[in-house]
Amino acid sequence: MGFHAYIRGIILIGFSLLMLSFIITGTITYYIAPTMLPFVYFATAVFLILGVLQIVRSTAKGQEEELLCDCGTDHSVQGSPIVKLIIYGIFVTPIVLGFVLPDKLLDSSVAANRGIQYGSGLNESTQASPATTDTSRAQAFLDDPDAYYAELENGSGSNTETTVSAEEFYTEEGYNQYYEELIDTLLAEEQITVTEENYLDVMTVLDLHLDRFIGKSIVISGFVYREQDLAENKFVVARFGMTCCVADASVYGTMVQTEEASQLENDTWIEVQGIVTETTYNDMRIPLIDLREFEQIEQPDTPYVYPRFSF
């Protein structure tokens, strides 16, 4: 019993040290969003404390007496040595691999498997009925939130069986006002500068209000990605967006048009400056950047982008 308590303590401390190494090196952000870091800090401390307690317990006297208590339960560890080894191996393996394997960012190979969302992903199809698309619902909310809420409460404005409440659709107060103010701010600027902080917000307003931004100068950075059926003079400048962890990461990209597209290889990090225009791709009306100039850059310290609002 004491030996097994000792092994369990070592495993718990191993997980704690693994998470601590991710935190110290900063690679923890490769796997989870910053909003989840407090949970990782808490788990690291708890695993360390429990691991120490298990080791202390393993060295305490009276281990055999604990197995012979009068509760009617056999506290001894059951199973053959091989079964026990396999069970412990399930927990030890991820610890060892976590320390041995190099940390790697998501790249274009992952984007090819998961697919890419052009812009914010809201503007799904130019041929879909306005009453049945997520785009039309988002647009209706942005145009007149009070009327949108009234339609939801009355069961109108949607031909689906499930009525989505306003709280479920947008839970942050002032969401509509925030985007209206962002649109006004972007239109007032001489050039739109897309940063890690406003990336998804800018993608959203470009999707829903593309007409208002055509002809506007824009600067955006990301890694180069190409769909198989893209024309030779086009590529996508993309970023991975993460809400919780790497499992829910999605690829958000903006199409770029230039005769110099062939010079850039996939996964090259670049900053592009151009003019916002539009194009149609896979029956979607999406923003297109007519490239004026670009610069190859180093991979940023924060390669992923995160939503401004949490739901």
Global pTM value: 0.67
Task: Pick from 74-83, 124-133, 298-307 the range whose average pLDDT is largest.
Answer: 298-307
pLDDT category of residue 53 using cuts at 50, 70 and 90: very high
- The set of residues, in sequence order, having a beta carbon less than 8 Å from that of 309 and lying 6+ positions away, is 172, 175
Which has the closest alpha carbon to 91: 35, 33, 18? 18
Mean pLDDT of 177-195: 87
Task: For residue range 5-30, list pLDDT tens digits in order.
Answer: 889 999 999 999 999 999 998 888 88
Mean pLDDT of the chain: 78
Residue 39, C-beta contacts closer than 8 angstroms, at least 6 positions apart: none
User: Confidence class of residue 263 from pLDDT cuts 50, 70 and 90?
Assistant: confident
Report yes or no: 235 and 226 within 8 Å, Cβ to Cβ.
Answer: yes
pLDDT at 179 over 50: yes
The token pair that represents 79 in the structure block = 């199973």
Domain ranges of the chain: 2-100, 108-128+178-296
257, burial (CB in 10 Å: exposed 0-12, middle 13-18, buried 19+) = middle
Domain range 108-128+178-296, its CATH number among 2.40.50, 1.20.120, 2.30.30, 2.60.40: 2.40.50
Percent of the chain with pLDDT over 90: 31
Report the chain's terminal Cα–Cα distance, integer Å.
Answer: 45
CA distances from 227 to 71, 114, 299 (A): 65, 12, 21
Distance CA 249, CA 220 (A): 20
